[in-house]
Amino acid sequence: MAGLPTALFRQNLRAMFNGQQALAFIPALTLGGYWLGGEGTLLILALLLPVCLALLGTNVPKQADTNLGLAGLGQREIIENALGQFAMSGSRTARNTAALVLELDDYNSLTARLGHKACNDILHNTANKVRGVLRDLDVVCRIDGATFAIAMGPAKRADLESLIQIAARLQSAVAEPISLDATTVYVSCSIGFCLGTRAPSQTGEALLEAAELALMDARQNGPNAIRSYSSEMQQRAKVHHDLIEDVSLALENGQIRPWFQPQVSTDTGEVTGFEALARWEHPERGMIPPSDFLPAIEEAGLFERLGEVMLYHSLTSLVKWENGGITVPKVGVNFSGAELRNPKLVDKIRWELDRFDLSPDRLTIEVLETVVAGAGDDIITRNIAGLAALGCAIDLDDFGTGHASIANIRRFSVGRIKIDRSFIMKVDTDPDQQHMVAAILTMAEQLNLETLGEGVETVGEHAMLAQLGCGHIQGFGLARPMPFSKTMDWMQKHHAKLAKTPKIGRITG
């Protein structure tokens, strides 16, 4: 130890620092093993770290996260300890502290598209950019995959405006282009923060949790959003937490099941299949829209379980239709990126089809175009190829929204593209929409792909799609999604109307 007067030897370490210095010293010591004092005096303490921290009454933190080689970035408890030390110092300026939580937007898609090694480099780059914006006093830790927490040390001015300015500088730094080999990558981030004076309590844990609630709100309004903690977020978080608990139970007790929406040929009007769509009928809250519960399922990591439920009930329905004398050629089931990364997916689907004695061509695998466009993942590629080889049809859903290349369409053995509703709206009255849809249909014809127009709501849209050569339609203009119990009655009425209406392509719903 160097740079201290002889009189301080054998004294309590707290005597070496004023209150402000101690606030900087403790977090810095836990992170790097050294502290550069305000007068430029360097204290080398790395070898004595556990002893020094014990004398200061501070717990020795766990080893910093080195899984990604992010040198100097610690773990969650370091942030909480630093915030707690800041809050307990008792000085007026120490109350001017804040917690910020920064998360890279859409990091899972980046990982799928670029691979883990490239994303590790992105994390390194982000860590350096974040440190470049902060003061030496501030502490930054990587607390989760692409999430960084920041303990802002005491400042003469710490208010909502100044924190928003700091968050904006962090976003600008993170947004600077990153060069990876021959590729330039652009990333953005969302940030939540909480001022020490606004936290539910003055503990480091409470302050960090409040910033995380603000981040949750930012994610819902992002990407590239900034949000400050408010007490209302606590109540919304409770509702969200209850929803996650409820959705887990709903999957197991049969509240979440497929509802079916018919798809028909524009040539004959005959039903060519049904798409299975997840619906949640809550015993107390009634129908809960997918836009509310699907994010909760994703957050709870239950997409694979949802897929199992949807597949089982969809195949069961095919058997029930047959037993009831109704012919439904196939049923389409949506598969998420999480499901498509399951290395046992093909075997699982083969087993389910054998279990119900169904031919693979009775099952259509519906994959979002965004999943295909971002699939740098070999497992996804192998699984889709394996399902196509098994005999399942592959539909590319929401076509036109995800920038999938023609090469990807070929690589994933796509048999049909489902043209997104945004192109179908007003196709009968808007020449630009007509030209766009006509171009898509021409491309599909050249690639020998079938086509389906999604979200058809009017007779005019149906007629124009038939005229342009779109092979199939689906939408409210034909029928809304319905529970299995209503499908047979709908099919019988639809067939009866077709018999009375020989004109090809007429909506009968």
Q: Which residues contact 292 (CB under 8 A, 6 or more apart)?
A: 243
Token output for 409: 């369409």
pLDDT band at 16 (very low <50, low <70, confident <90, very high): low
Mean pLDDT comparison of 33-47, 202-216, 376-390, 470-484, highest-scoring range: 470-484
Backbone angles phi, psi at 99, to 5 degrees: -110, 135
Mean pLDDT comparison of 37-46, 392-401, 474-483, highest-scoring range: 474-483
C-alpha neighbours within 13 Å on the C-beta side of residue 26: 30
Per the listing, tokens 């049969």 go with 254
Instruction: Check if the beta carbon of residue 482 is closer than 8 Å to that of residue 497.
Output: no
β partners of residue 102: 148, 191
H/E stretch holding 393 reads: strand 393-399
Q: Which residues contact 289 (CB under 8 A, 6 or more apart)?
A: none
Is the alpha carbon torsion for 61, 66, 70, 76 positive or negative?
negative
Q: Output the CA–CA distances (angstroms, integers) from residue 49 to 332, 381, 408, in the order listed.
A: 60, 49, 54
Q: Which of 31-35, 247-251, 389-393 has the lowest mean pLDDT?
A: 31-35
Q: In CATH, which superfamily holds the domain spanning 255-500?
A: EAL domain (3.20.20.450)
Token output for 245: 């608990």
Q: What is the pLDDT of residue 57?
A: 42
pLDDT band at 7 (very low <50, low <70, confident <90, very high): very low
Q: What is the pLDDT of residue 1?
A: 45
3-state secondary structure 123-183: HHHHHHHHHHHCCCCCEEEEEECCEEEEEECCCCCCCHHHHHHHHHHHHHHHHCCEEECCE
The angle at the Cα of 106, spanning 375 to 392, to the nearest 5 degrees, equals: 30
* 87-101: pLDDT as tens digits: 766 455 445 788 999
Model confidence pTM above 0.75: no
pLDDT band at 502 (very low <50, low <70, confident <90, very high): low
* 364-385: pLDDT as tens digits: 999 987 777 665 557 888 899 9
pLDDT band at 493 (very low <50, low <70, confident <90, very high): very high
C-alpha neighbours within 13 Å on the C-beta side of residue 264: 28
Instruction: Check if the beta carbon of residue 281 is closer than 8 Å to that of residue 485.
Output: no
Query: Using CB atoms within 10 A of its CB, is residue 253 exposed (0-12), middle (13-18) or buried (19+)?
Result: exposed
Q: How far apart (Å, rounded) are the C-alpha atoms in residues 118 and 110?
A: 9
Is the alpha carbon torsion for 102, 243, 301, 388 positive or negative?
negative
Q: Output the CA–CA distances (angstroms, integers) from residue 34 to 31, 37, 432, in the order listed.
A: 8, 10, 65
Percent of the chain with pLDDT over 70: 79
Q: How far apart (Å, rounded) are the C-alpha atoms in residues 137 and 129?
A: 16
Residues of the chain with CATH 3.20.20.450: 255-500
pLDDT mean across residues, the chain: 81
Instruction: Check if the beta carbon of residue 191 is closer than 8 Å to that of residue 215.
Output: yes
Radius of gyration (Cα) for the chain, nearest Å?
29
pLDDT band at 503 (very low <50, low <70, confident <90, very high): low
Q: How many other CB atoms are there within 10 angstroms of residue 217's CB atom?
A: 21
3-state secondary structure of 275: strand
Token output for 332: 């389409």
- Tell me the mean pLDDT in the region 227-253: 85
What CATH code would you report for 63-229?
3.30.70.270
Q: What is the pairing mode between strands 393-399 and 147-152?
A: unpaired
Mean pLDDT comparison of 16-30, 96-110, 165-179, 221-235, highest-scoring range: 165-179
Q: How far apart (Å, rounded) are the C-alpha atoms in residues 477 and 472?
A: 13
Percent of the chain with pLDDT over 90: 48
Q: Is the pLDDT of residue 173 over 90?
A: yes
* 99-148: pLDDT as tens digits: 999 999 988 888 878 888 888 899 999 999 999 999 888 889 888 889 99
* DSSP labels, 232-243: HHHHHHHHHHHH
pLDDT band at 47 (very low <50, low <70, confident <90, very high): very low
Is the alpha carbon torsion for 427, 428, 431, 435 positive or negative?
positive
Residues of the chain with CATH 3.30.70.270: 63-229
* 421-448: pLDDT as tens digits: 999 999 999 999 999 999 999 999 999 9
Backbone angles phi, psi at 400, to 5 degrees: 105, -5
C-alpha neighbours within 13 Å on the C-beta side of residue 500: 7
Q: How far apart (Å, rounded) are the C-alpha atoms in residues 287 and 279?
A: 7
Q: Is the pLDDT of residue 450 over 80?
A: yes
Helix 303-323 to helix 290-299 angle (10° resolution) is 130
The angle at the Cα of 471, spanning 468 to 473, to the nearest 5 degrees, equals: 95
Q: What is the pLDDT of residue 127?
A: 92
- Of the candidates 60, 71, 69, 67, the one whose C-alpha atom is nearest the C-alpha of residue 30 is 60
Q: Is the pLDDT of residue 6 over 70?
A: no
- Tell me the mean pLDDT in the region 258-286: 94
H/E stretch holding 389 reads: helix 378-390
Instruction: Check if the beta carbon of residue 123 is closer than 8 Å to that of residue 70.
Output: yes
